[in-house]
Amino acid sequence: QFYPNPVDETTIVEQHDRWSLSTYPSVPGLVEWYAIAFSNGETDRYPVSGFGSYAAVNMFNPSLFVNEIMAINDSTISDESGEFDDWFEIYNAEEYPVPLEGFYVTDKKDNLTKWQFPASDIEILPSEHIIVWCDEDEEQGIAHTNFKLSGSGEFLAIVAPDGVTIVDSISFQQQQPDISYGRTADGGEEWNFFDSPTPGATNQLLSIDQYNYIPFGTTDFQHGITAGSNNFQIQNQPGIYRVSFKLTIQKTGGNSQNIKFFLAKGYSSTNLVAGSEVYANVSNGEIITISGEKLVQLNAYESIGIFSDTSSSSVQVLASGSSFNIEMISQ
């Protein structure tokens, strides 16, 4: 595949009119070649006689990952044209830049060459990310595919330039608007939903910084809060759930303190689950354990977590001895 590759700001005609060629031999070995150019009825050959040659070698496919997906992008991030289109993110886990020219992207297992990165100098740097727009608008740029993502879930893959080798793939489930689905760690094996998507950046678990959310193992209810699987859940199926928790609480200073703990939805302490309140009085130097349980109706992808009615740097919810469990009772 030929493509223009001029030298910027040159006054040399040959450099201004420079073209490059990409080719992908199917097998390793010696490749002999020549090129013919046609212009104004004239023909030029290079080399004038004989052949040029190069050696094609076996290459390991680079560690490129489908890292994050958003199949329903209503308002999260817009492309160069200001449109909120489907997108996914590629992560380069290698220690060197990887040119993307020639790689394929597809949403069909029976058509691995559905869309190909065009001839260009686009590359992804080590430990970096790139967004690919799945919008059927190829004319908008080199990272715009000829297909869209399905919000009901589907297959997605990165395919090597040979058109056969799948570099990475994912079959994802039904998606929700403006909630992305990604690897909890860049290039990792575990996937999770992100209410705060990170297109083009390092993936992070769902995080909040709302007043009085209970983060296990921290000494401050108010700051530096990162949600974890032991104290925060998003369910992907609607239904009635039994939600239970046990909190081991330690007081490290100040007077005794009355604290209310409760369940709440939607990352906000204002969305109290009525009847889930548990009360505790804890004194300086004391460690106590309290527990609670509640049947809760949850919609698909609705969150639920544990909160308190106070903020105190002298009260710690210990990770050891604390737990948060949720199980579906009925749909």
With cut-offs at 50, 70 and 90, classify the pLDDT of residue 92: very high
Q: Are residues 20 and 116 in the same domain?
A: no
Number of domains in the chain: 3
Cα distance between residue 246 and residue 248, in whole Å: 7
The span from the CA of 38 to the CA of 290, in Å, is 83
The b-or-e profile of 181-216 (16+ CB within 10 A means b, else e) is: bbbbebeeeebbbbbebbbeeebbbbbbeebbbbbb
pLDDT above 60: residue 59: no
| Residues 26, 138 within the same domain | no
Q: How far apart are CA 144 and CA 136, in angstroms?
A: 7
Last residue of a domain, one of 147, 169, 194: 194
* CA 314-196-99 angle, 5° bins: 125
Average of per-residue pLDDT values in the chain? 80
Q: Which of 30-44, 135-149, 304-318 has the highest mean pLDDT?
A: 135-149
Identify the residue with better confidence: 204 or 286: 286
Nearest to 142 by CA among 186, 63, 79: 79
Give the structural domain span for 21. 2-56
The radius of gyration of the chain's CA atoms, rounded to the nearest angstrom, is 28
301 in any annotated domain: yes
Pairing, β 86-92 against β 129-134? antiparallel
CATH of the domain at 278: 2.60.120.40
Contact 154, 107 (CB under 8 A): yes
Q: In whole angstroms, what is the distance from residue 46 CA to residue 50 CA? A: 9
pLDDT of 311: 62
Residues 279 and 309 in one domain: yes
The predicted structure's pLDDT at residue 220: 30
Could you tell me if 237 and 158 lie in one domain? Answer: no
**Model confidence band, residue 57 (pLDDT cutoffs 50, 70, 90):** low
Residue 8 shares a structural domain with residue 83: no
Contact status, residue 38 vs residue 117, Cβ threshold 8 Å: no
Q: 196 in helix, strand or coil?
A: coil
Query: Among 118, 119, 139, which Cα is nearest to 4's?
Result: 119
**C-alpha dist (Å) from residue 85 to 80, 136, 146, 293:** 11, 9, 12, 41
- Residues 83, 52 within the same domain: no
Mean pLDDT of 80-109: 94
Domain-located, residue 204: no
Lowest-confidence pick of 34-38, 172-176, 259-263, 321-325: 321-325
Is residue 298 within 8 Å of 233, Cβ to Cβ? no
Given a contact cutoff of 8 angstroms between Cβ atoms, the answer to whether 79 and 132 are in contact is: no
Euclidean distance between CA atoms 222 and 188, whole angstroms: 29
The one-character DSSP state at 139 is G
Q: What is the pLDDT of residues 186-209, one digit of tens each?
A: 998 888 777 678 899 887 643 323
Statement to judge: residues 29 and 126 lie in one domain: no
Residue type, 288: I
Q: Are 243 and 326 in contact (CB under 8 A)?
A: yes
Q: How far is CA 57 from the centre of its chain?
A: 33
Among 39-48, 50-59, 72-81, 270-279, the minimum mean pLDDT is found in 50-59
Share of the chain above pLDDT 90, in %: 30
CA 26 – CA 14 distance, rounded (Å): 31
**Same domain assignment for residues 49 and 127:** no
From CA 95, how far away is CA 316, in angstroms rounded?
Answer: 41
pLDDT tens digit sequence for 244-260: 888 878 777 778 888 88
Q: What span, in angstroms and rounded, lies between the C-alpha atoms of 286 and 2?
A: 74
Task: Please list the residues that pair with 281 across neighbouring strands.
Answer: 258
Which single residue is written with the structure tokens 């527990």? 291
In the numeric block, the tokens 């589907």 are attached to 154
User: What is the rounded CA–CA span in Å between residue 322 and residue 217?
Assistant: 9
Mark which of 31, 56, 81 sits at the end of a domain. 56
**Is the entire prediction scored with pTM above 0.95?**
no
Same domain, 52 and 133: no
- Does residue 218 carry a pLDDT above 60? no
The answer to whether position 287 is within a domain reads: yes
